[in-house]
Amino acid sequence: MVLVVVMGVSGSGKTTVGSRLAEKLGWKFYDGDDYHPPENRKKMAEGIPLNDEDRIPWLCALHDILRREDSSRQDTVLACSALKKMYRHILASGASAIESNQPEQQEGNTALKILFVHLDGPNDIIAARLSKRRGHFMPPQLLKSQFDTLEPPSAPENFITVSLEKSLPEIVLEIEHAIFQGEKLP
């Protein structure tokens, strides 16, 4: 059973990569953006970056989804920005991670084993993608705040970094290789 979180700044391709990976593998896919409360969507649409207070309840809701799928032994892919280390800890451990900023026991449950896939690329490529995107609540002018917030994953986190300068099939194949070759998996 595998849980994968495809992460990165807005416009990095999380939904596209995550949905393609899940479709190819026959796994469940969730887009974290679908779970933002209306207040968060309104704030972002107005060009106001979200803060920790805005994001934490949303991340806890996403943790609950991952916990449920893990309990059901369902392989799952989630697209979620997961910009800060603390956010990734919340995805793994739920609300218990907020105080300690460490993945740990939550009500007798161990932290979820998640492979974080960081889609990484230069600001100019991502900005170009965002300028072409229509009908999304996240405006291009918030990209700088996303990069300012980003804490790229690092050891001992369970992650791989994939260049979004590669083609979509190459990106999906690299993630598959990491999953099925056991690279970076707990």
Match 């807005």 to its residue by tokens.
10
* Domains and their CATH numbers in the chain: 3-180 (3.40.50.300)
How does pLDDT run across 104-123, given as a tens digit for each residue?
Answer: 444 456 899 999 999 999 98
Question: What number is the average pLDDT over the span 14-42?
Answer: 95
Tokens of 114: 């998640």
Q: Who wins on pLDDT, 165 or 186?
A: 165
Tokens of 86: 């603390």
Determine what percent of the chain is predicted with pLDDT higher than 70.
87
As a whole number of angstroms, the distance between CA 139 and CA 147 comes to 14
- Give pLDDT, residue 89: 94
As a whole number of angstroms, the distance between CA 33 and CA 27 comes to 19
Radius of gyration of the chain (CA): 16
| CB burial of residue 55 (10 Å; 0-12, 13-18, 19+) | buried
Residue 55 pLDDT grade (very low, low, confident, very high; cuts 50, 70, 90): very high
Residue 183 pLDDT grade (very low, low, confident, very high; cuts 50, 70, 90): very low
Determine what percent of the chain is predicted with pLDDT higher than 90.
66
Mean pLDDT of the chain: 87
Residue 111: how many other CB atoms lie within 10 Å: 19
- Give pLDDT, residue 46: 84
How does pLDDT run across 2-18, given as a tens digit for each residue?
Answer: 999 999 998 899 999 99
